[in-house]
Amino acid sequence: MSQGKMLGQALPVTSYALLGLLTFGDELTGYELKQRADVTLRFYWVAPAMSQIYSELTRLTEHGLVEPHTRSDGGRDVTTYAITEAGRTALRTWMETTPAGFPVIKHTVLLRLLMGHVSDPASTRAMLEQYVEELAQARKELQDVRESLRGADGPGEPFQHPAIVADWGLDFFDAEARHARAAIKSLVE
């Protein structure tokens, strides 16, 4: 195995996301990782499907970046995963030595708005109004996540960085709603 692979350089971003989710101190099953991803990653990254999580856990295990622990639970085997020191090193190396890169935005609302001239103006406005409603719902869900971090989100606390990400996401949703409402207004005038 190459040194790059030993340090995790050749892994997909989803692998690093799962390693990151395992750094909060507890061993998790694949199902629990999926739940944690759905509560956190989905606001700014694609939350992986169950099948993808298990594929990545297999890859991470093969690379020695996570360690599986199997125990019997009511007659069935349950496997939890813990990040290894090599996994922490790979994650840290990836974070510190690879550029984050400029995010690629795949924004279907903006794509449709760009081509709004080929659609009925009322349909375009309705699409934007629906988006504003969806933003409000997503904001409420993220606000709930943000509130759950209170008390462990100060400097040096375990959830300081997730709290910063949640605040960023809340500001993003607010800005998106503001722009969508401005677009609706300009389409009415």
Q: What's the pLDDT score for residue 3?
A: 37
Helix (H, G, I), strand (E, B) or coil at 66: strand
Q: Residue 157 — very low, low, confident or very high, per pLDDT cuts 50/70/90? A: confident
pLDDT value of residue 1: 43
d(CA 99, CA 43): 21
pLDDT at 121 over 60: yes
- Runs of H (alpha helix) within the chain: 3-6, 13-21, 30-40, 50-62, 85-97, 108-114, 121-149, 160-188
**pLDDT single digits (tens) 131-150:** 999 999 999 999 999 999 99
Give pTM, 2 decimals: 0.82
d(CA 21, CA 114): 36
The pLDDT tens digits of the residues spanning 10-48 come to 899 999 999 999 999 889 999 999 999 998 898 888 889
- Please report the pLDDT score of residue 9 as a whole number: 55
Q: How confident is the model at residue 69 (pLDDT cuts 50, 70, 90)?
A: very high
Average pLDDT over residues 74-96: 95
